[in-house]
Amino acid sequence: MTATWLSGTKIAKEIRESLRPEIERLTKAGVQPGLAVVLVGDDPASQVYVNKKAKTCLELGMHSEVYRLPAETEEAELLGLIDRLNRDDRIHGILVQLPLPKHIKEKNVIDAIHPSKDVDGFHPVNVGNLAIGDDCLLPCTPAGVIEMLKRGGIEIAGKHAVVVGRSNIVGKPVALLLLREHATVTITHSRTPDLASITRQADILVVAAGKPELIDRTYVKPGAVVVDVGIHRREDGTLCGDVKADDVAETAGVLTPVPGGVGPMTIVMLMKNTVEAAGRALASGKAGRG
């Protein structure tokens, strides 16, 4: 058996194109969807992500603002910027690139972003709404995983989904979204004994452990759908995920590649959230004229 590769690049392109008519409609109504991205410090990976997000905004005809702050920026200054962006009607989405310098408390920053502009889906109000099934802005990577599965023609309802990882950014929310799609969900993590005995039960295995090539074929049920959320750079400069792709491809039925899998989905779901937030602002009469 050789796995079918599920391309996030292809699906992300489809979603991008589907956003264009709504962006045009909103812009004609006087509301150009606007995203503000804030980067504190000069982390190279973060620089790349921020540039990709800004480029995608411009390609879609959205308004984009990027704030690059020095690493020594005080927390109060960052919170002041967020407050200004919260009150700026031209901005419908605010994203503060993580990780932040150690002297800035991440929770304070996340809590400061107004839930209606929290396009990362990290604010406690949005997390709570996700947990109880209410309408909210969904976290981008987990939402991207679900979108990939659906557009890839993969049935979720009634399947046993196993999530490896319990982070607030991916593990927990993707488990909640899988539950919303009527999967039976098991969450595993670093203290789970005999991890492979549980992952081998999965019809759908979502790996967000943050450990390079942790999962090999011995962890995977034949024919399973394997979604690799991780991305790491090897010493030789090549990229890999949390899954040992070449090995797992011999056992899995469907597998997402790294790169070109979940990564492109994260960015396009950010754009989708921003467009959705702009639409809500227009409907509520609170949208500014971009």
Q: What mean pLDDT is reported for the chain?
A: 96
User: In the structure, what pLDDT confidence band is assigned to residue 78 with cuts at 50, 70 and 90?
Assistant: very high
b/e string for 79-107 if b means 16 or more Cβ within 10 A? Answer: bebbeebeeeebbbbbbbbbebbeebeee
Query: Residues near 232 by Cβ (< 8 Å), separated by ≥ 6?
Result: 212, 239, 240, 241, 242
Taking the model in full, what pTM does it have? Answer: 0.95
Does residue 290 carry a pLDDT above 60?
A: no
Does residue 109 carry a pLDDT above 50?
A: yes
Three-state SS across the chain? CCCEECCHHHHHHHHHHHHHHHHHHHHHCCCCCEEEEEEECCCHHHHHHHHHHHHHHHHCCCEEEEEEECCCCCHHHHHHHHHHHHCCCCCCEEEECCCCCCCCCHHHHHHHCCHHHECCCCCHHHHHHHHHCCCCCCCHHHHHHHHHHHHCCCCCCCCEEEEECCCCCCHHHHHHHHHHCCCEEEEECCCCCCHHHHHCCCCEEEECCCCCCCECHHHCCCCCEEEECCCEECCCCCEECCECHHHHCCCCCEECCCCCCHHHHHHHHHHHHHHHHHHHHHHHCCCCCC
Query: 12-49: per-residue pLDDT in tens?
Result: 999 999 999 999 999 999 999 999 999 999 888 889 88
| Binding annotation | 165-167, 231
Write out the catalytic residue numbers: 53, 97, 120
Does residue 66 carry a pLDDT above 70?
A: yes
| Mean pLDDT to the nearest integer, 139-144 | 98
Enumerate the domain spans of the chain: 30-114, 140-263
| Binding annotation for NADP(+) | 165-167, 231
Does residue 278 carry a pLDDT above 50?
A: yes
Quote the distance between the C-alpha of residue 31 and its chain's center.
25
User: Shortest CA distance to 165 belongs to which of 267, 257, 107, 243?
Assistant: 243
The pLDDT of residue 285 is 80
The pLDDT of residue 287 is 56
User: In the structure, what pLDDT confidence band is assigned to residue 194 with cuts at 50, 70 and 90?
Assistant: very high
Q: Please state which architecture CATH assigns to domain 140-263.
A: 3-Layer(aba) Sandwich (3.40)
The pLDDT of residue 255 is 98
Q: Please state which architecture CATH assigns to domain 30-114.
A: 3-Layer(aba) Sandwich (3.40)
User: In the structure, what pLDDT confidence band is assigned to residue 289 with cuts at 50, 70 and 90?
Assistant: very low
Lowest-pLDDT range of 119-123, 124-128, 197-201, 234-238: 234-238
Question: Is the fold of 30-114 the same as that of 140-263?
Answer: yes
